[in-house]
Amino acid sequence: MSPDHKFPARLRIKSQKQIDLLIAESSSLFAHPLILKYHISKLPEEGETAPQLAISVPKRLFKKAHDRNLIKRRIREVYRTCWKEYIPESSNYQVLLLLVLIGKIIPEYSELEKAIHQLLKKLGKLNA
């Protein structure tokens, strides 16, 4: 049986409250062509929590939905394969992440991979 290559629901931000919190009270890091907005908060009770991610690709920069979807798929795949290297599953912290694309051309997979690795490495150093 082949390995599961899905982006699990536990890694997604699904709550509008969490997205609003990220936008209002987040810190940010930059690695071209991405900005990483993050919010780290202490949980009232202990339990395994994985960092949750939302992705934003502006309609203003990419008019066609298939271009935005392609970029989001690439970002999700890079994040899915590398987040465990830099951010441990925490027992008492909730980590919310928002990746925002700011470039005006569709980035290559390798370019996104390099940027996401840089951002997660910076975040891991801050979180340690």
Within a domain: residue 55? yes
pLDDT digits 0-9 by tens, 97-120 = 999 999 999 999 999 999 999 999
Within a domain: residue 49? yes
Task: Using CB atoms within 10 Å of the CB of residue 5, give its burial: 0 to 12 exposed, 13 to 18 middle, 19+ buried.
Answer: exposed
Predicted TM-score (pTM) of the model is: 0.90
CATH classification of the domain holding 92:
3.30.230.10
Average pLDDT over residues 7-24: 92
Domains identified in the chain, total number: 1
Within a domain: residue 1? no
Within a domain: residue 88? yes
Rounded to an integer, what distance in angstroms lies between the CA atom of residue 71 and that of residue 17? Answer: 25
Within a domain: residue 3? no
Within a domain: residue 2? no
Residue 29's domain spans which residues? 9-127
